Amino acid sequence: MIQIFKLKELNEAELSHLEELNSWWDKPVNKKLQKCKIFITKFGLQPNDYITFDSINEVKFNDFIKGINNYLNFYTPKLKTIVSERHAFKKFDKSIINYMQLNGYVASLSTIAAFYTEKVDYDLNNFNKTEAINFANIVLLDKWNKFKKEVLVTFGGNEIIKDVIKGIFENEVVYDGIFFDSRVIVNTIVKYASNLLKRTEITEKQFLNIMYLAYLQSNYIESFIYIYKGFTINLK
């Protein structure tokens, strides 16, 4: 699942429009970047082993994206263990939070650049907040739909549980000009899975997988919206 959050490099037009923006995101991005780099030292690695720079200001934006994507190579061999053993999950949970928040920040910046590029023929002073948010929701909904599929796969052939989950998904509402934030629904699914585990209706592995998916989705959304709001706050 974490692979669906792999960041795409920007084209030349998108990069040029990103450079037009005042940089208000450096501090939160660099803070999460440092936390990711420090975490791997617990495994006998060096901070620069996956991400070779210390700040978003040190490299070109596409090189920054490459570094963030490269960090996935640290997680990939460990994912099977993380979602199978509770002690392993606890060992990595804060690291997953930091990485997904960093990923969400960068994905939001890329989406802002894509929005600017799509509207390049317009008067930039006439950017509409509702239009900008609706553009962001396309990205958020894409990740959300992939999350829903992964959640249902977790419960295999148990159609009773899957029907309940589908019922929870029906609470999804998309409003014009309002960020699509699925965290309340995600939390409801986690609570339901927790109750299923207590009643031994699912395995611990299934529960941990739901927790893992929830960590990915919720932290991505939180950080994506945080950065994007900084963009839309001055739009009419």
The residue ranges of every structural domain in the chain are: 7-233
- C-beta of residue 107 within 8 angstroms of C-beta of residue 139: yes
pLDDT higher than 60, residue 188 = yes
Mean pLDDT of 217-224: 97
The torsion region of residue 185 among left (phi > 0), alpha (psi -120 to 50) and beta comes to alpha
pTM of the model: 0.94
pLDDT higher than 70, residue 56 = yes
pLDDT higher than 90, residue 200 = yes
Token pair, residue 166, equals 């589908």
Mean pLDDT of 209-227: 97
**Residue 122 pLDDT class (50, 70, 90 cuts):** low
pLDDT higher than 80, residue 204 = yes
pLDDT higher than 60, residue 160 = yes
CA dist 3 and 74 (Å) reads 12
Hey, what's the torsion of the CAs at 76, 80, 84, 87, to 10 degrees?
-40
CA dist 176 and 180 (Å) reads 9
Mean pLDDT of 89-118: 94
CA dist 30 and 102 (Å) reads 9
Mean pLDDT of 8-16: 93
- Only one residue has tokens 């999460």, namely 32
